[in-house]
Structure 1
Amino acid sequence: MAKYLLLKHYRGAPASVNDVPMEQWTPEEVSAHVRYMNDFAARLERTGEFVDSQALAPEGTWVRYDGEGRPPVTDGPFAETKDLIAGWMVIDVDSYERAVELAGELSAAPGAGGKPVHEWLEVRPFLTTSPTVTE
């Protein structure tokens, strides 16, 4: 088994391929979207493939050590892009192919009008060994 992070990106306006920004979805459409993700997670819990998930608030700040004790703070959570990390799910699956399959399924969560949002999900494997430097 290998752990993968499914990173949910919200690409500003439009939020998805169906060209309707999430801010314009009805409360029922938002509820259907969240219900789909919760049902998806529950199904993966039953198969033993679910580890954890969390939605993130849109507010955020970039902080970086400046070497002088007062870290600079920048508006965020994004500086030069309209992408926003909306949340994440950690899965533990048998293969990279299974991780991609599940990410594709999660990308089909309903949005405006009940149509799949086709949102982008980043699939990232967890680093399982410490990186080493060889000369």
Structure 2
Amino acid sequence: MKYLILKHYRGNPAPYGDAAPMDQWSPEEVDAHIGFMDDFAKRLEGTGEWVDGQALSPEGTFVRYDGPGRPPVTDGPFAETKDLIAGWMVVDVDSYDRALELAGELSAAPGRGGEPLYEWLEVRPFLDNPTTIDE
């Protein structure tokens, strides 16, 4: 079953840990963090559990349908926000417990000073088939 693991960037980390925001890390700390993520992905490629993943830029745009014509567009999300999606991974694993195990490992990615971040990650299953109700 496929699961989406969402990595959130929290500009204000409390109450999600006491790690400094990434813009306060040294280049070496950022490189160590990215290296951890790359190694994690390569390991899962070897087990056949890796599907895809990508880091996301903090710049973005909100768009919605508002009738015929050009849809309204607004700025955002903004890097100053307390929480924005920093990246995602898709894994294909045998169980929900395995998805949680992997997210737990990923949560220990190094941060400032090389210390584990202990960050909260969002784990969501892909919707397979809509639930049917038998009456």
TM over 0.5: yes
**8 A Cα contact 2:63 2:71, kept in partner:** yes
- In the alignment, which residue of structure 1 is the partner of 2:60? 60
> How far apart are 1:70 and its partner, in Å?
2.6
Change (3 A) 1:10 1:45: same
- Residue 88 of structure 2 aligns with an amino acid whose one-letter code is W
Q: Could you tell me how far apart the structure 2 residues matched to 1:56 and 1:107 are?
A: 17
Provide the residue aligned with 1:42 in structure 2: 42
Shift of 1:82: 2.1
Contact preservation (8 Å) 1:8, 1:121: yes
Listed as ranges, the gaps of 5+ residues in structure 2 are: none
Equivalenced residue count is 132
Structural RMSD (CA): 1.9
How many angstroms does 1:60 deviate by? 0.1
User: What's the offset of the Cα at 1:105?
Assistant: 0.6
Question: Which structure 1 residue ranges, 5 or more long, are not aligned?
Answer: none
Once the two structures are superposed, residues 70-111 of structure 1 have per-residue CA deviations (whole angstroms, 9 ceiling, x without a partner) of 311122126xx6211000000000100000010011010000
Q: Secondary structure at the match of 2:128?
A: coil
Structure 2 partner of 1:3: 2
The answer to whether structure 1 residue 51 and structure 2 residue 51 are counterparts is yes
Greater mean deviation of Cα atoms: 67-76 or 84-93: 67-76
Cα displacement (A) at 1:46? 0.7
**AA of the residue aligned to 1:13:** N
Q: Which string of whole-angstrom CA distances, capped at 9 and with x for unpartnered residues, describes residues 17-75 of structure 1?
A: 13311100000000000000000111111111111110101100000011141311122
Q: Does the 8 A contact of 2:19 with 2:111 survive in 1?
A: no
Structure 1 residues 73 and 131: alpha-carbon distance in aligned structure 2, compared to 1, 3 A threshold: farther
TM-score relative to the length of structure 1 = 0.89
Instruction: List 4+ stretches of structure 1 deviating above 3 A.
Output: 130-135
Deviation at 1:120, TM superposition (A): 1.6
- For residue 94 of structure 1, what is the aligned residue in structure 2? 94
